[in-house]
Copies of this chain bind each other. A is one copy, B any other.
């Protein structure tokens, strides 16, 4: 793996690897972290102090802006091993672009591509032994940035920290997911920051998710607010519906995430000759298709979940059971 950077990255390796503590045949999602992390600080108008160091706790002020006002963004991406065992990143330039789009919306400084990409390559290369080879497993990469001003007035921070850590991950949803259409809560709205991977977009969804889980569902299908008619996305996933041999997914209207897996699925399906439509799709259209037996499949896409088929969609007391024909996609094809 070639690393090319104009920013000098200081590397301080961990003395002892923790890799022996991981059972590669039983990898949990998101709670085991590889040996190293990357850190860079933004102050006096520039990114500085690029460093790879052992994964460890960090020291912050209790008055740090990110903790009080949620000025924080993140990305999610994956590394795999190729046939020769070399690390391969999946479309990192798309994550880079989205990261800076999120940064702009949250009044945070953009990151130079050299830092973002070379830091990821460097850390993945250093912790390459943590990349699992098992089916459906990968090394999940989490770049994130947060505001570090020690000040409690409400204004954009002047100081930021950018970090990356990685974790070997197994499958996110071990089986097809049960989805509930939200008719009470709303995730995002035009004029908001729904398209950004901003911390606050997720925190406000935790209660709705918790309540849905109490009712036996795995995730929420978010509707636009007001009339609760048009589908936005599902938690952690963009939503796709195969109706009458046409694959439909909500268009990027500013309220939903511009998913890298979403883009990839659209491209792959078009390459296979499938008609793909990015357009507003109402829950009524899905229900009608279900009743007229034209609803062939429904699934979510995301870096963490890859492709998660919907087992059912709960709406107004009715359960729309998906046929799981899986005619067009299997989990492995896109991964």
Chain A interface mostly:
loop
Task: Chain B residues near A189: list those with CB within 8 A.
Answer: 186, 189, 192, 225
- A202 near B: Cβ within 8 Å? yes
Stretch at the interface among A16-24, A153-161, A280-288: A153-161
CB of B192 within 8 A of CB of A71, answer: no
Q: Most chain-B Cβ atoms within 10 A of its Cβ — which of A37, A67, A235?
A: A67
With A57-B60, A200-B198, A200-B199 known as contacts, the answer to whether A155 contacts B206 (CB < 8 A) is yes
CB of B67 within 8 A of CB of A144, answer: yes
Total interface residues in chain A, CB < 8 Å: 67
With A59-B59, A207-B104 known as contacts, the answer to whether A167 contacts B152 (CB < 8 A) is yes
Task: Chain B residues near A9: list those with CB within 8 A.
Answer: none
Bitwise, A188-213 to B at CB < 8 A (1) or not (0) is 01111100001111111111011000
CA distance A150 to B304 in the complex (A): 17
- Tell me the nearest residue of chain B to A105, going by C-beta: B207
- The one of B63, B74, B226 that contacts A68, using a Cβ cutoff of 8 Å: B74
CB of A154 within 8 A of CB of B210, answer: no
CA distance A89 to B225 in the complex (A): 39
Q: Most chain-B Cβ atoms within 10 A of its Cβ — which of A57, A155, A186, A203?
A: A203
- The one of B60, B186, B206 that contacts A106, using a Cβ cutoff of 8 Å: B206
- The one of B37, B59, B153, B205 that contacts A29, using a Cβ cutoff of 8 Å: B153
Q: Identify the 10 closest CB pairs spanning chains A and B, nearest first.
A: A200-B200, A70-B199, A186-B191, A70-B203, A69-B202, A30-B152, A107-B206, A70-B200, A193-B204, A70-B70
